[in-house]
Amino acid sequence: MSFEAAVHAQAIELNRLALDMTAAAGSGHPTTSMSIGHLVTVLMFHTMRWSPEYPDYPTSDRLVLSEGHAVPAVYAACAKLGVMIGKDPSKRRKLTVDELKKLRDASSELDGHPNPMEGFPFFDAATGSLGQGLSVALGLAEAAILDKTDRRVYCIIGDGESREGQIAEALDQLVDRKLINVLPIFNCNEYGQTDRVSPQQSAETLAAKLTAAGFEVKTVDGHNPAQIKAAFDAFAALTPGKKPMAVVASTVKGWGAESVQGNGWHGKPPTGDQLKRALAELEQKRVELTSSLTSQDAFTIQPPADARTPDYATGELPPLAQTMKQMDMESVLQAGTLATRRAYGIALRALCKVNRDVVALDADVSNSTFADMVRKDASMADRFIECKIAEQNMVSVAAGLSAAGKIPFVSTFAKFVTRAYDQIEMAINSGANLKIVGSHAGITLAADGPSQMSLPDVAWFRSFSTVKDHRGNPGCYVLQPSDAYAAYRLTEVMAEYQGCCYMRTLRAETEFIYNDDVVFNLGGFEVLAQGRDLVICAAGYMVHEANRAVELLDKAGVSATLVDLYSLPFDTDALLDLVQANDGKVLTVEDNYGGGIGSAVADALVDSGDGFQLKQMHVRRIPKSGRTIDDLLKMCSLSAEDIKKNAMQLLGV
Amino acid sequence: MSFEAAVHAQAIELNRLALDMTAAAGSGHPTTSMSIGHLVTVLMFHTMRWSPEYPDYPTSDRLVLSEGHAVPAVYAACAKLGVMIGKDPSKRRKLTVDELKKLRDASSELDGHPNPMEGFPFFDAATGSLGQGLSVALGLAEAAILDKTDRRVYCIIGDGESREGQIAEALDQLVDRKLINVLPIFNCNEYGQTDRVSPQQSAETLAAKLTAAGFEVKTVDGHNPAQIKAAFDAFAALTPGKKPMAVVASTVKGWGAESVQGNGWHGKPPTGDQLKRALAELEQKRVELTSSLTSQDAFTIQPPADARTPDYATGELPPLAQTMKQMDMESVLQAGTLATRRAYGIALRALCKVNRDVVALDADVSNSTFADMVRKDASMADRFIECKIAEQNMVSVAAGLSAAGKIPFVSTFAKFVTRAYDQIEMAINSGANLKIVGSHAGITLAADGPSQMSLPDVAWFRSFSTVKDHRGNPGCYVLQPSDAYAAYRLTEVMAEYQGCCYMRTLRAETEFIYNDDVVFNLGGFEVLAQGRDLVICAAGYMVHEANRAVELLDKAGVSATLVDLYSLPFDTDALLDLVQANDGKVLTVEDNYGGGIGSAVADALVDSGDGFQLKQMHVRRIPKSGRTIDDLLKMCSLSAEDIKKNAMQLLGV
């Protein structure tokens, strides 16, 4: 059988299976799948160098399906090829065609959208929330370069999906970074969910936009095997210095079955007579386009290159004092204050020295987050990825890096992290080993005003801390170091942990509270003053303000216990014991909106059923600019005096 | 004085003031401001038709400063023109040049970034989180078309900022909607915060991309008054059917003062000798480019057209039964079940009939959210704005519509709303009258899997509910109707309220619980069963599951009170009374991650200091696909049986 006929035969088979499995599931997107049957066939049966036996082999070429709802096409190909699946890596089995009918079942690895953590290691990341896949592909491509492997990364993107701004961000980043090992493939099937795709995302306009953005564009008929192969061959032949490439494929949504084409068939599996008719139309196509039955004989999948074991070991992070000495920064340490964001930068650089897997990403603010300490060090500058002002892309690139075994640290202002919350959630769903560091957190940023302040961030990240991830750990740890030592060590703790962490750092210079002997743990807290009348829980900057309040209270005859609650979640039992020893009274103090530390403590207290009392202090108005930190603390009623007043009220004195 | 010399003189004066005011504030972005001095001068002193006396006059041309950190230029222009400022509209005063020195002070209306709600009505929206302004401008332009005014909207966008994908989304939307009353002006000053702007955002590449996207591009020297004026004149001369226009202005960051140009001067006001030198350089420029002292004589600001009072009144929403009858949908009502998302669509259409200010926006899923009931009705189709798959742009467009007096309802899947969280926060900071309706909320979406499920959303929106907005109301109301009657009425309640609301609707068909006689209020809840042993609080779908649990508990001899806690925040005292009457025991049940209803109840209970006990049921694992709702409820231990079991445990039986 000719290559062309073999591709048609296989694509038709994938389309048939897409119809069958979505009909069995009672939901799904068969027509989108059918638009990529040929592209998937050429990629998975011919172009990609990979192994169905080891779908996550470290040097394999990768396929990122950005338009995740087209996944039945890939499931079908995997079933035909007997790709290994299974949640437990030691107990994987070959996917069979029979199993396709379990699509979307609670017991099945074949989730509604690509979902590697549910047992489908062919995929690197969960997709389905649109527009994120190309960024993930960029992360995989960056990791391949760092690892000196010639892995290629293919990414299929829907036309409607490419309206998402993140796609534009990823395209710019691809050109900026001169990545010739990743290929964006635009699947232009012309129909979205409710209507036709906008002319702004037509094959012609996309091609024009890509050309303007600096791409060599190959426009192909996405159902023409020879044209597809030629485009992929041209991509494989790219050499450094050449323009990056993109493929714009004109396709038909529901290819092969006219009765399910056009508007009204998005996400709707035909059943009964409609299914029969569609299958009959496909069969007719087979007769037209192929001379014999489906056969894989015409295909040979090239295996991936042998993976090498990394020739480097991970070292220990030295104490902060030692690192500072090495950097000729001892005077800074002696000054007695150091911003936690700067301590993070110092830690990140020191980490890069001892751990080759650590990669730093920033969004044009590295001189504010201090991630530029990596950027400016020539010995590690290749592990700094400048993402410019495009936070969504940055986070998904990090997810891709993580999927390739890297430990990505993503930094920008905590406020601007918000831009990528959906990408962070998808990364958590992907099991990504993602470290997010948001600087200038809370109201103490002061002068720049609320457009630069992170305020509901603790509530959002805390929500993930109430959930177990696929490894049985909290979905996210929220970390708020109050001094440089804490920030330095917690950066190391994050690197050592496998999973998602969010650390808030501060613009302000803060006094030292700790030293190199203090151990910080995920889930831990520190008791900074041991009293008996009430517990004050604070984190980050507010520890310092609470500390001043403890002194004021002491003068007023009140003995307060001060807890630096630097981690969410925290050791609930230990905190409850402390509270019990303090007459059951707690005051929480935060520099953000509610739903954060205060609610976390409230959750713990009322779960116990004892008669505890909690007063929460947090930002209760939309703040504005003020020139000093104290202006803001006063504006938001969070000064040491306010804390004292609230403590007295709580005690009824 | 020639126009050219006058513009130079005025721009130099604005630049001088930008240097002065940021030096006084001790922070800010003078060099960015200086790059737009000429653009701002031509716009505000010449091109725009507006009135400094009435900076928010309804027919005035508008300036949206997307790169909000350049705001000193606008403050300076406003001071020169005596623009009215002040938080209380009845007590506005003219801004003076003297007052500029109060920039960023806690007591000043001159916030660090544009902030209309702090007393600067010249601006329509808070900006400063980058990439959002053009979308806001689109919303203002759409409102102008609906109001049949010939208002023009100008938007200044930074080059570095235009890396944000939202800009690409807005540009596509602008072309799709053929908006010739909004002008994107790209300020290409070549420097970002840490380094030069990427070549992907150079003036040349931006112009090429804009051309590819369908714009007529005018490339100008952003410091050449004649070129700027010619471009703005060409824009004003556009007629329907013409291509939309964009201006790409090449500028110098720190124009007029060489000593503060180039890298290293972002967000850094020169002081002392550096300030003196910069001011001297500016003075030298004045001598070079102008023959006399600053003068406004050469400028005449055209006033806006007279605003007309709307010739329409707002009516009442009829009862759901009546609306359904009018739509020949009585049989649906008789069937006894109706999805809340569909009830929302019915309400939205009925609202559009009685309130001409209501506008519906959707992101290519209107046949899922049921916003398509507006789209499909020819009598109101002009008030449906299809935003395609670009949620960030959609939300900021809505913020712009709100600033022009519209009541925008934004709908998409609740999961995809996450994409626009930063835009929502900026809209809340802007005081926007924004209604967000997220469909397919929580885990009951089932088959599509976690990429389509909203899970930490309640925690995030609840965080705003703990804060007072500028009007003294909660920063956001979170609404979770459990049946069609509730969804219908709450849609009306949202429209009547001035501020931000988030409503979660469900994919599932749910049984009727209420009828047209029940009144729903922001902050209210409904008691569905009155018991004595414990209170079960639930919302949305979980009310139905909890209702089944109440029956199971009844059989087991337990008398449960069931509360439909459809609003956050809620009437705390009323709930505490109920709990007190139920032995102090509460069980909360949610179909999302923690930090939502359970934490809201926890906050209320421990604030009171009484010995209440709360058990929280919420999603505690990252869910996966399942074919049925019951599969998901079982997977996440949230079935009626699970609720019963938890209730029994809480009671110790």
3-state secondary structure B34-54: HHCHHHHHHHHHHHCECCCCC
Distances in Å between the Cα of B184 and the Cα atoms of A191, B50, B187, B217, B232 are 29, 19, 10, 10, 11
d(CA A617, CA A636): 9
Distances in Å between the Cα of B649 and the Cα atoms of B518, B606, B646 are 34, 21, 5
Chain B 592-611, CB below 8 Å of chain A: which residues?
592-596, 598-603, 605-611
Q: What is the CATH number of the domain that holds A361?
A: 3.40.50.970
* DSSP summary character for residue A197: P
Bridge-based pairing state of the strands A526-529 and A560-564: antiparallel
Q: Please write the tens of the pLDDT for every residue from A332-366.
A: 888 999 999 999 999 999 999 999 999 999 999 99
Select from B131, B172, B452 the Cβ nearest to the Cβ of A163.
B172
What is the pLDDT, as a whole number, of residue B518? 98
d(CA B435, CA B501): 5
**A488 is a domain residue:** yes
A27: which chain B residues are within 8 Å (Cβ-Cβ)?
447-448, 627
Distances in Å between the Cα of B493 and the Cα atoms of B72, B205, B525 are 40, 47, 14
B264 lies in the same domain as B338: no
Q: Does A29 touch chain B (CB under 8 A)?
A: no
Average pLDDT (A391-402) is 98
B492 lies in the same domain as B635: no
Of B99, B109, B164, B391, which is the active-site residue?
A: B391
With contact defined as beta carbons under 8 Å apart, do B575 and B563 qualify? yes
Flag if B129 and A470 touch (Cβ within 8 Å): no
**pLDDT for A93 beyond 70:** yes
Q: Is the peptide bond before A569 cis (omega within 30 degrees of 0)?
A: yes
* Least confident interval from A220-224, A315-319, B490-494: A315-319
Locate A43 and state its tokens.
């990629």
The DSSP secondary structure of A47-76, one letter per residue, reads I----TTSTT-TTS-EEEESSGGGHHHHHH
What is the pLDDT, as a whole number, of residue B292? 58
User: What number of other Cβ atoms are within 10 A of residue B195's Cβ?
Assistant: 18
B616: which chain A residues are within 8 Å (Cβ-Cβ)?
603, 607
Q: Please write the tens of the pLDDT for every residue from A68-92.
A: 999 999 999 999 999 999 999 999 9
Amino acid A101 reads K
With contact defined as beta carbons under 8 Å apart, do A558 and A498 qualify? no
Distances in Å between the Cα of A52 and the Cα atoms of A73, A167, A586, B135, B165 are 16, 29, 57, 46, 36
Phi, psi of A528 (to 5 degrees): -95, -20
With contact defined as beta carbons under 8 Å apart, do B210 and A213 qualify? no
- In terms of phi and psi (left: phi > 0; alpha: psi -120 to 50; beta: otherwise), the region of B637 is left
Q: What is the CATH number of the domain that holds A610?
A: 3.40.50.920
With contact defined as beta carbons under 8 Å apart, do A196 and A265 qualify? no
Average pLDDT (A6-32) is 98
**pLDDT for B294 beyond 60:** no
**pLDDT for B295 beyond 90:** no
**A182 is a domain residue:** yes
Q: Please write the tens of the pLDDT for every residue from A462-517.
A: 999 999 999 999 999 999 999 999 999 999 999 999 999 999 999 999 999 999 99
**In chain B, which residue's Cα lies nearest the Cα of A24?**
B627
DSSP bridge partners of A398: none
Sequence-separated (6 or more) residues with CB below 8 Å from residue A126: A68, A113, A114, A115, A116, A117, A426, A429, A430, B450, B451
What is the pLDDT, as a whole number, of residue A1? 74
What is the pLDDT, as a whole number, of residue A295? 55
Q: What's the number of domains chain B is made of? A: 3
pLDDT band at B298 (very low <50, low <70, confident <90, very high): confident
Q: Does A419 touch chain B (CB under 8 A)?
A: yes
pLDDT band at A227 (very low <50, low <70, confident <90, very high): very high
- What is the 3 state secondary structure string of A518-545? CCCCCCCCEEEECCCCEEEEECCHHHHH
Q: Please write the tens of the pLDDT for every residue from B506-534.
A: 999 999 999 999 999 999 999 999 999 99
B282 lies in the same domain as B361: no
Residue-range definition of the domain harbouring residue A636: 526-651
Predicted complex ipTM: 0.98
> Residue A33 is inside which H or E element, if any?
helix A30-35
B493 lies in the same domain as B552: no
Average pLDDT of chain A to the nearest whole number: 96
**A467 is a domain residue:** no
The distance between the two most distant Cα atoms of chain B, rounded to a whole number of Å, is 94
**B433 is a domain residue:** yes
B275 lies in the same domain as B360: no
Average pLDDT (A22-32) is 98
What is the pLDDT, as a whole number, of residue B609? 79
B57 lies in the same domain as B113: yes
B493 lies in the same domain as B591: no
**A315 is a domain residue:** no
A332 lies in the same domain as A283: no
> Residue A156 is inside which H or E element, if any?
strand A153-158
Q: Look up tokens 């897409």; give the residue.
A: A18
The DSSP secondary structure of A104-139, one letter per residue, reads T-TT-S--SS--GGGT-TT-SS---STT-HHHHHHH
Q: Does B381 touch chain A (CB under 8 A)?
A: no
Q: Does A627 touch chain B (CB under 8 A)?
A: yes
The dihedral built from the CA positions of residue B467, B473, B478 and B480, taken in this order, carries a sign that is positive
Interface contacts A/B by beta carbons within 8 Å: 408
**pLDDT for B15 beyond 70:** yes
**pLDDT for A29 beyond 80:** yes
Average pLDDT of chain B to the nearest whole number: 96
Flag if A209 and B211 touch (Cβ within 8 Å): no
Distances in Å between the Cα of B12 and the Cα atoms of A483, B149, B187, B251 are 44, 34, 17, 14
Which residue would you say has higher pLDDT here, A149 or B311?
Answer: A149
Last residue of a domain, one of A241, A273, A289: A289
Q: Please write the tens of the pLDDT for every residue from A541-583.
A: 999 999 999 999 999 999 999 999 999 999 999 999 999 999 9
B394 lies in the same domain as B344: yes
Q: Considering only CA atoms, which of B566, B565, B409, B381 is closest in space to residue B492?
A: B409
Select from B386, B421, B451 the Cβ nearest to the Cβ of A128.
B451
A336 lies in the same domain as A243: no
**pLDDT for A145 beyond 70:** yes
Residue of B69, B164, B502, B605 to mutate for A, most A C-beta atoms under 10 A = B164
Q: What is the number of alpha carbons within 13 Å of residue A581 lying toward its C-beta?
A: 14
pLDDT band at A293 (very low <50, low <70, confident <90, very high): low
DSSP bridge partners of A107: none
**A189 is a domain residue:** yes
What is the pLDDT, as a whole number, of residue A554? 98
Of A13, A190, A391, A492, which is the active-site residue?
A: A391
The DSSP secondary structure of B322-367, one letter per residue, reads HHHHHTT-HHHHHHTB--HHHHHHHHHHHHHHH-TTEEEEESS-HH
Flag if B165 and A166 touch (Cβ within 8 Å): yes
Q: Does B24 touch chain A (CB under 8 A)?
A: no
Q: Please write the tens of the pLDDT for every residue from B611-630.
A: 899 999 999 999 999 999 99
Residue of A103, A448, A575, A616 to mutate for B, most B C-beta atoms under 10 A = A448
B598 lies in the same domain as B551: yes
**B455 is a domain residue:** no
A14 lies in the same domain as A144: yes
Average pLDDT (A201-211) is 98
**B471 is a domain residue:** no
Amino acid B238 reads L
**pLDDT for B310 beyond 80:** no
**pLDDT for B297 beyond 70:** no
**pLDDT for A10 beyond 80:** yes
What is the pLDDT, as a whole number, of residue A87? 95
What is the pLDDT, as a whole number, of residue A24? 98
Flag if B622 and A475 touch (Cβ within 8 Å): yes
d(CA A419, CA A395): 10
Q: Please write the tens of the pLDDT for every residue from B235-289.
A: 999 999 999 999 999 999 999 999 999 989 999 999 999 999 999 999 999 999 9
